[in-house]
Every structure is written in structure tokens, then in C-alpha cells.
């Protein structure tokens, strides 16, 4: 029986157990690198197999977090088309998408079982004699749990569910008894998956389903998908993603946003346009830790909107500024999209951190300049500088203001790896939110925040894992080479390539969330950039800036939906409010594209470690 079928009283212990397990795994992922760092610095010793342990904890977070994300209906999808459908139609199309995704999960579990069986026979151990296959077993088990939950949502009743399971097992039997899939079923399956993607099918299932069909058509075993999945989620630098994200979530759930706004207001609020400066700086700082400018609209909108209106801003420009102000934060450390792009594209995380600083300042400066124009001329109070207020606010927020120095200092000094610097940052933020300020209660708040963080991370890591299989197939089939040859013959010049890239990525940002876009598009874009001589760091900043700008465009720009929800305004009104700032930021993105110095000067000053 699935959790979704039992009574709330029975289901609650299972939910709490899952949430606590996810919390404990994230805590272990944070503590192991920190202890390793301390032992190395003091006793010149360490934890045996620490790196391997942390990497495999990433696998645990991936599967457990994805299972919780499925439970909460929070898996990443490739589009937001279903948001445009009537409520009555959403349930029907979602049932089709979930049933199709459940069938894909059965295929993934089958491949995972074959992979684990092969690994078990090899006799490899993780650390302290623990067999590696014991942790790898979570892959097929996790996909079965995810598939069952998707199936439970898609069909009602034990008989229809049983029939669906039988059909899924029949699909598995077909894949194991027919070495090669004919062309017609391959085409039909890809069409069904494309339709499912448009109707809200989870992104990981879309990518994994296409990969499975292509592998089957090429006569490759499904276990190859599991091998690629495992290779991605135990990537040595991948644990930095959940650890930096954990730091961001702890800050977001504390009273840090209010303290930061008070600091910026004390410093700049007295100036003409000070409310715009406060809004942009607060939203940028907040987004750099949450990695989601849309979340910034929801979290800070209720705080900065009254500030803007009280300082003489008309409702429309104030609405536009709040909707777009957080976008530059995606280019600042330790924003999750920045780290994710570095991992996928094989670029140094430290170099990406440095490369995003000046472009982020440029876009933030454009947003501030635009916002200052929106203040009415008679609204500036020109109050005297209140040094006492500045001292009090900085003293109250000094711990939050120093957070960016922790990862930057650890990386720049060379005392820590990217994963260790991320763990150090997460531990530091945990300390200031639970011990220094006591904003978060250890028993009531911390498990909730950590399970929410694990949910998001699980949804992202499972996409990364299955996407590598599709990427490897495309590389083996020389698809990127064909794309590069076509673009080279069609465009021909570096300037033309960059312009076409801007248009393409902006269109992609209108339709696809930034995380799936990084997984699907970054490998091909990286190869194209090499052909046209674009430095990898600059290419990454161009990629992220364009994708974020797409969040302000209809029909499915996510920031527009978040602002419409937060302020209870029609979508068309939100877009009219943000359009002038969108044009200004687009000019900034073009400057970032055609002035490489902005992205490359700082990385050139620091050796790549």
C-alpha cells in the first residue's frame, strides 16, 4: 500500500521518517568534510575515504530527495504549459504524464538492478569495509518508490494500478528479449515522451525515457544508463551543490533578510533613489544564496514593496523592480545555477565565482539606475546620515554580511577544496542561524528546512544523473559534431554565433527552467563555444544571464507567475510593469556578451586551482 492511500494519521510517521533521514544525510554530508578539514589543519590526519563517503552521500540525497519531491509533487518539469490549462484539464493530462513517467522508472530500476549485480560481483568497498553495492542499491530501490508514487497519482483503484504494473513489467520483458528496437516504435515512443513533457511529465523521466529508447534502438543494455547516472551523482565536486544550497535555505528561513534590508536601508535609504538601491541589493544578496530569483520575489516582495511605495514610487515601476531585482544574484557565489553549470560544463567553480562578479555588478547597477528614475522628485527626504543606526544595523547583520567571505576565503587561500568550502559555509550559516541569532529552533525548524533543501536537491540531482546517459549517447552518435558543423557553416563568425546564442538562450529561458536547461543545453553550447573561441567562463556567464532574463518573458517566464501570485495581479499587468527593465537588462546582457573583459579579468588574476 502506498503512503498516498493510507489515512493522514498513518501516513504522517512515514513522512516524518523520510524527512528525518534526509536531514541526517545532509548533516553527515556537511560534517564529514568539515571534520576532515579540521583534522588536516591541526593533526595532519583525516577520515579514511572521506571524499568517497561524501560523494556517495550525494547519491543517497539524490534518490531520497527525489522520492520526497515526488511525494510533494515538486519534481522539475521541462515547461510550465500546464499552468495555462483550465483546472479541470490539468488532472487528466497530469495522469497521462505520471503514468508514462512511472513506466520509465521501471526501466531505470531494471537497469539499476543489472548495474548493482555487476558491481556486487566486483567486490569493491566504499570505506571501512562497507561494500559499494549496498549504497548503489538505492538507485533501483529509489526509482521503484518514485515510480510507484507517480503511478498512485495517475490511476485510482487497485485493479487499474495492477494493470499498469503488469504493462510496465511487459515493457521490461520486451527490452530484455528484443536486442534492438525497430525505428517505428522508437519514433512513436519519442513522440509520446515529447507530449508527456509538454503536459508536465517530470524532466528526469523525459530524459531517461528518451535515453532508454535510444539505447534500446542501438542495442545497448539499460545498465549503461545506471552506470552514467552513478558516475554523475558521485562526481567529486557535486556535493558542493547541496551544501551551498543548504546554506542558502538556512539563511532564507531565518530573519537574515530583514536584517540585511535594515543594513541597506540605513546606508542608502536617505539618498534619492535609496529605496531602489535597498531593493536591488537585498534581492541580489538573497538570490545569490537561494539560487532562485523567483523565490526572492515571494520571500522579499512583502518587505521591499511597501518600502518602494512609501518613498514615492508608482505601483507599476515598483512592481517591475521587485520582479526583476534579484536576477543578477544568479551570477554571484554561491548561487546554485553557477555551481551546476561549472560541474556540467567542466569549468572551475572558483573561476565561475570570479567570472560572475563584474557582470552581476553591471546588471545590478542597471537595475538600480532604472529604479532610481522611478522615484518621484519630491519624495527624497534628504535626512541626515544616522551613523548610530548604521552601526546598530551592521552590528546586527555582521554575521550574514560575512557569509560570502567564508567560501571565497577558503578557496582563495587554498586551504579547502570546493566541497570543503561549501561544507564550511553551511556549518557557518547553521551556527549563526541556530546559535548566534537563534532564528531557527533545532528541533522544530532545522529538520523542516533541511528536508525542504533535500527535496529541491534531489529533484535536481536525479535530472543530472539521467541526463548524462543522453549526453553520452549523443556524443557517441556524433550529434554535437553535426550541430557544430551546421552552426559553423550557417553562422560563420564569432559575433554572429554570440548573437544567435543570445536569441536561442533567451527563447529557451522563456520555456524551460534554468536547471534542466543547464543539463540539456550546456554540453552542446560548451562545444560550440570552443569552435568559435569563446572562453568557457565567459560562455557560462552568458548562458546564465540569458536564461535568467528569460524568466521575465511571457508566456511562461516564471518570475512573472511568482509576482502575479505574490501581489495578486494579472499576468499581463506584471509583464507591462517589468518590460522597460527587461529591455535595460537585455542591453546589459549584450554588454556581457560582447565585452569578454567583464567575465575574464578577475579569473585571470587568480590561478585556477
What does the pLDDT read at residue 484? 73
Q: Inter-axis angle of helices 571-594 and 315-324, to 10 degrees?
A: 50
Residue 21 has pLDDT above 80, yes or no: yes
pLDDT band at 10 (very low <50, low <70, confident <90, very high): very low
pLDDT at 185: 77
Return the pLDDT at 272. Answer: 77
Look up residue 521 and give its three cell numbers.
Answer: 543545453
Cα–Cα distance, 264 to 274 (Å, whole number): 9
Nearest to 462 by CA among 74, 186, 116, 164: 74
313 beta partners = 375
Evaluate whether 311 touches 274 at the Cβ level (below 8 Å).
Answer: yes
Q: In degrees rounded to 5, what are phi and psi of residue 77?
A: -115, 160
Q: Is the pLDDT of residue 92 over 80?
A: no
pLDDT at 5: 40
Return the pLDDT at 387: 84
Cβ atoms < 10 Å from Cβ of 374: 21
Nearest 5°: phi and psi at 234? Answer: -105, 20
**Three cell numbers written together for 19:** 524527512
Q: What is the largest CA-CA distance in the chain?
A: 81
Distance (Å, whole) CA 92 – CA 596: 49
Report, as an integer, the average pLDDT of 361-368.
94
Q: Are 32 and 239 in contact (CB under 8 A)?
A: no
For residue 101, pLDDT beyond 60: yes
Q: For residues 398 and 293, give the distance between their C-alpha atoms in angstroms, rounded to a whole number.
A: 23
pLDDT band at 161 (very low <50, low <70, confident <90, very high): low
pLDDT interval class at 3 (50, 70, 90): very low
pLDDT in the model for residue 6: 42
State the pLDDT at residue 377.
59
What is the model's pLDDT at position 9? Answer: 43
Q: Quick one: what percent of the chain has pLDDT higher than 90?
A: 25
Partner residues linked to 202 by β-bridges: 77
CB 458 within 8 Å of CB 68: yes
The C-alpha torsion from 330 through 334 and 336 to 341, rounded to 10°, is 80
What confidence score (pLDDT) does residue 427 get?
95
Return the pLDDT at 509: 75
CA distance 22 to 428: 20
CA angle (150 as vertex; 90, 451 as ends), nearest 5: 100
DSSP β-bridge partners for residue 375: 313
- Taking the alpha carbons at both ends of the chain, their separation in whole angstroms is 51
Judged against a pLDDT cut of 50, whether residue 2 lies above it is answered with no
pLDDT value at 477 more than 80: no
User: In whole angstroms, what is the distance from residue 456 CA to residue 463 CA?
Assistant: 11
Q: What's the angle, vertex CA 534, arms to CA 531 and CA 535, rounded to 5?
A: 120
CB 99 within 8 A of CB 148: no
- Which of 154-163, 228-237, 316-325 has the lowest average pLDDT? 154-163
Lowest mean pLDDT among 72-81, 186-195, 413-422: 72-81
* Lowest mean per-residue pLDDT among 257-261, 282-286, 468-472: 468-472
- Map grid coordinates 519534481 to a residue: 75
pTM of the model: 0.81
1 pLDDT exceeds 50?
no
Asked whether residue 461 carries a pLDDT value surpassing 50, the answer given is yes
What mean pLDDT, rounded, does the chain reach?
83
Inter-residue contact 244 to 157 (CB < 8 Å): no
Grid cell 570505506 — which residue?
A: 127
pLDDT digits 0-9 by tens, 116-152: 999 998 888 888 888 999 999 999 999 999 998 988 8
pLDDT at 497 over 70: yes
- Statement: residue 518 has pLDDT above 90: no
Residue 609: the pLDDT is 55
Q: pLDDT band for position 519 (50/70/90)?
A: confident
Amino acid at each position: 500500500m502506498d503512503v498516498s492511500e493510507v489515512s493522514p494519521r498513518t501516513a504522517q510517521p512515514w513522512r516524518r521518517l523520510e524527512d528525518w533521514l534526509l536531514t541526517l544525510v545532509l548533516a553527515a554530508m556537511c560534517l564529514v568534510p568539515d571534520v576532515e578539514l579540521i583534522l588536516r589543519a591541526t593533526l595532519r590526519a583525516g577520515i579514511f575515504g572521506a571524499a568517497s563517503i561524501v560523494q556517495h552521500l550525494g547519491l543517497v540525497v539524490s534518490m531520497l530527495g527525489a522520492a520526497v519531491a515526488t511525494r510533494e509533487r515538486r519534481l522539475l518539469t521541462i515547461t510550465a504549459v500546464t499552468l495555462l490549462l483550465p483546472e479541470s484539464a490539468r488532472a487528466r493530462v497530469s495522469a497521462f504524464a505520471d503514468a508514462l513517467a512511472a513506466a520509465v522508472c521501471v526501466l531505470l530500476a531494471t537497469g539499476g538492478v543489472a548495474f548493482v549485480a555487476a558491481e556486487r560481483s566486483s567486490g569493491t568497498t566504499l570505506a571501512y569495509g562497507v561494500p559499494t553495492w549496498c549504497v548503489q542499491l538505492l538507485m533501483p530501490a529509489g526509482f521503484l518508490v518514485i515510480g510507484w508514487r507517480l503511478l498512485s497519482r495517475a490511476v485510482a483503484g487497485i485493479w487499474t494500478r495492477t494493470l499498469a504494473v503488469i504493462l510496465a513489467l511487459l515493457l521490461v520483458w520486451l527490452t530484455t528479449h528484443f536486442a534492438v528496437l525497430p525505428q517505428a516504435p522508437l519514433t512513436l515512443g519519442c513522440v509520446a515522451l515529447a507530449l508527456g513533457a509538454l503536459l508536465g511529465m517530470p524532466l528526469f523521466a523525459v530524459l531517461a525515457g528518451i535515453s532508454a529508447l535510444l539505447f534500446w534502438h542501438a542495442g545497448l543494455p539499460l545498465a549503461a544508463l545506471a552506470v552514467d547516472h552513478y558516475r554523475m551523482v558521485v562526481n567529486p565536486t557535486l556535493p558542493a551543490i547541496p551544501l551551498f544550497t543548504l546554506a542558502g535555505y538556512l539563511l532564507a528561513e531565518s530573519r537574515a533578510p530583514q536584517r540585511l534590508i535594515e543594513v541597506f536601508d540605513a546606508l542608502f535609504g536617505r539618498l534619492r533613489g535609496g529605496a531602489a538601491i535597498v531593493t536591488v541589493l537585498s534581492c541580489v544578496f538573497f538570490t545569490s544564496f537561494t539560487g532562485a530569483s523567483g523565490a526572492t520575489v515571494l520571500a522579499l516582495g512583502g518587505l521591499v514593496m511597501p518600502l518602494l511605495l512609501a518613498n514615492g514610487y508608482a505601483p507599476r515601476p515598483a512592481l517591475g523592480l521587485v520582479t526583476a531585482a534579484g536576477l543578477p544574484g544568479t551570477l554571484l557565489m554561491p548561487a546554485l545555477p553557477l555551481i551546476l553549470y561549472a560541474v556540467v560544463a567542466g569549468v572551475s567553480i572558483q573561476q565561475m565565482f570570479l567570472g560572475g562578479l563584474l557582470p552581476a555588478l553591471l546588471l545590478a547597477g542597471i537595475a538600480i539606475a532604472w529604479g532610481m528614475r522611478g522615484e518621484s522628485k519630491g519624495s527624497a527626504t534628504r535626512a541626515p546620515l544616522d551613523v548610530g543606526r548604521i552601526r546598530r544595523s551592521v552590528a546586527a547583520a555582521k554575521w550574514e554580511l560575512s557569509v560570502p567571505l567564508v567560501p571565497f576565503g577558503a578557496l582563495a587561500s587554498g586551504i579547502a577544496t570546493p566541497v570543503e568550502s561549501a561544507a564550511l559555509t553551511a556549518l557557518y550559516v547553521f551556527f549563526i542561524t541556530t546559535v548566534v541569532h537563534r532564528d531557527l529552533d533545532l528541533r522544530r525548524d532545522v529538520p523542516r528546512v533541511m528536508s525542504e533543501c533535500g527535496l529541491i536537491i534531489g529533484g535536481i540531482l536525479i535530472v543530472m544523473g539521467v541526463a548524462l546517459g543522453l549526453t553520452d549517447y549523443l556524443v557517441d552518435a556524433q550529434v554535437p559534431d553535426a550541430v557544430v558543423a551546421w552552426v559553423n557553416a550557417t553562422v560563420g563568425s564569432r559575433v554572429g554565433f554570440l548573437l544567435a546564442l543570445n536569441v536561442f538562450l533567451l527563447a529557451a529561458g522563456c520555456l524551460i527552467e534554468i536547471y534542466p536547461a543547464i543539463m540539456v543545453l550546456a554540453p552542446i553550447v560548451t562545444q560550440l563555444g570552443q569552435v568559435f573561441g569563446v572562453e568557457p567562463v565567459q560562455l557560462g556567464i552568458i548562458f546564465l544571464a540569458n536564461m535568467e532574463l528569460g524568466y521575465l518573458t511571457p508566456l511562461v517566464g516564471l518570475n512573472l507567475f511568482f509576482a502575479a501570485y505574490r501581489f495578486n495581479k494579472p499576468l499581463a499587468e506584471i509583464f507591462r510593469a517589468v518590460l522597460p527593465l527587461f529591455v535595460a537588462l537585455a542591453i546589459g546582457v549584450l554588454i556581457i556578451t560582447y565585452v569578454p573583459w567583464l567575465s575574464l579579468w578577475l579569473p585571470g588574476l587568480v590561478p585556477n586551482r
